[in-house]
Amino acid sequence: MAAGGGLWFLLLALHMAAVSAPLPLVVNTWAFGKATETAWRVLQMGGSELDAVEKGCAQCEIDQCDGSVGYGGSPDESGETTLDAMIMDGNTMEVGAVADLRRVKNAIGVARKVIEHTKHTLLVGESASLFAVRMGFPYEDLTTPKSLSVFSEWLNQSCQPNYWKNVVPDSSKSCGPYKKAEKVICKEDWTSSQRRISVRNHDTIGMIVIGESGTIASGTSTNGAVHKIPGRVGDSPIAGAGAYADSTAGGAAATGDGDIMMRFLPRFALRLLACQKVISRIQKYAPKFFGAVICANTTGSYGAACSKTPGFTQFHFMVYSPSLSQPSEQVVDCV
């Protein structure tokens, strides 16, 4: 599965010119500067790349970054906030992930425990929460007045928008409960993400950390799609879709409409294609999908690419390296 450094350089033929930075390096999605700074501080204090990813993403969970990470955001259609997260060690290729995690705030921390204390990769739902408690994480309410308000407003708008199709009653006009329709239209409405996801809801923190020796870790954390059907899992906790790390090559992380992104496994495409080509490939099927990718290689070169949609023409991401005195917000034009 490992690719040589030559292949990895291909993914830096981005819409923006690749930028090279001295190591160590922290790169993460969106303008989540405090998360970047936290990860950097962990490295400076002697922590590992895995430590830096965990603490950096956990900072966003604490800060409830854009309401799309951590507790109190993105209620599902029952009004509950659930969390997804993953963390990957590019040295050992180990992955720990949780999905549909309930009543536990530190999702990325629980994902780290999956690596450290199990032979599994992904734990889900109520069982993931029970595992978290056994690992010493407390049960806490993930609901806040804000998330309750978002849920109430959605109910008052006849549960619009939502993620149902081919059901009765008409999901575009009512809250259900739904049953399957007799006639099923299998064709996917690839423009649905534009209706369902606000570009103000930034969806996920994805982070790549490269140490001084070029070793890599990556991770993600999110509370998922707003008003999702309970039990839905997107790309974020899936290795190769939400993020990936390989210390022989580089790392990548994706953000956006996870139901679309995960179908294309951006990591596998990134092994052979430039980031912009990954976005272009998805656009063939979903011309107006909302998404972006960040990537970096073991020498410190990094870049990003994104898909242009109304209201989303540029993608902002964060970088920290020895050449910078503070986290640097960078921007790439979407294609």
For residue 208, give the H/E element and its range: strand 205-210
Q: Decide the pairing of beta strands 122-124 and 95-101.
A: parallel
Q: Is 246 annotated as a binding residue?
A: no
Taking the mean position of all CA atoms in its chain, how far away is CA 229?
Answer: 18
Check residue 260 and give its pLDDT.
87
Q: Is 200 annotated as a binding residue?
A: no
Whether 7 is in a domain gets the answer no
Burial of 307 (0-12, 13-18, 19+ CB in 10 A): buried
Whether 150 is in a domain gets the answer no
Check residue 236 and give its pLDDT.
95
Q: Is 258 annotated as a binding residue?
A: yes
Whether 3 is in a domain gets the answer no
Check residue 4 and give its pLDDT.
34
Whether 173 is in a domain gets the answer no
Whether 327 is in a domain gets the answer yes
Q: Is 256 annotated as a binding residue?
A: yes
- Six token digits for residue 196: 């369902």
Whether 136 is in a domain gets the answer yes
Question: Which residues are catalytically annotated?
Answer: 204
143 contact partners, CB below 8 Å, separation of at least 6: 71, 72, 75, 79, 80, 81
**Could you tell me the mean pLDDT of each successive run of 10 residues in the chain, 335 residues long?**
33 49 94 97 98 98 96 96 98 98 98 98 98 98 97 97 95 94 71 47 85 96 96 94 91 90 67 65 87 90 90 94 96 93
Tokens 């990813």 sit on residue: 53
Whether 4 is in a domain gets the answer no
Q: Is 333 annotated as a binding residue?
A: no
Whether 220 is in a domain gets the answer yes
Angstrom distances, CA of residue 4 to CA of 213, 248, 297, 315: 16, 7, 11, 28
Q: Which domain holds residue 287?
A: 21-144+196-333
CATH of residue 297: 3.60.20.30
The DSSP symbol for 22 reads P
Burial of 314 (0-12, 13-18, 19+ CB in 10 A): exposed
Which of 192, 3, 233 minimizes the C-alpha distance to 97?
Answer: 233
Check residue 8 and give its pLDDT.
33
CA 14 to CA 334: how far, in whole Å? 11
| Count of domains for the chain | 1
Check residue 21 and give its pLDDT.
82
Q: Is 255 annotated as a binding residue?
A: yes
CA 291 to CA 141: how far, in whole Å? 30
Q: Is 232 annotated as a binding residue?
A: yes
CA 227 to CA 162: how far, in whole Å? 6
Residues 236, 245: contact at Cβ < 8 Å?
no
